[in-house]
Amino acid sequence: MRLSIAPFCSLNYIEGKANKQKGAIMSDSKVVASKVKTYVKEKSGMNTSTTVFDALTRIVEREIDKAIVNAERNKRKTVMDRDFM
């Protein structure tokens, strides 16, 4: 099973802004929680803490930011799979 992630980097996140939902400040998640939970459950039989999703989102955003820099270095306006290497 593959984990699903959004293939783009939110400008709002880069600028340090957050979405507000029911009065709480929430990060713009780049991972699909249900897919992560299913993967962890099938792989290990374990449950997944809700704090995992923010941590994974930060990891994904960091990697996307690096890929954006790689694409810019190569004078491209399209982030490609090779930018993640």
Q: pLDDT value at position 17?
A: 43
Residues of the chain where predicted confidence (pLDDT) is lower than 50: 1-2, 4-26
Q: pLDDT value at position 28?
A: 85
Q: May I ask the CATH class of domain 11-84?
A: mainly alpha
Q: pLDDT value at position 55?
A: 95
What residue segments make up the domains of the chain, in order of their start?
11-84
Instruction: Work out the burial of residue 39: count CB atoms within 10 Å of its CB; fewer than 13 is exposed, 13-18 middle, 19 or more buried.
Output: middle
Q: pTM higher than 0.75 for the full model?
A: no
Instruction: Work out the burial of residue 46: count CB atoms within 10 Å of its CB; fewer than 13 is exposed, 13-18 middle, 19 or more buried.
Output: exposed
Q: What is the pLDDT of residues 50-60, one digit of tens each?
A: 999 999 999 99
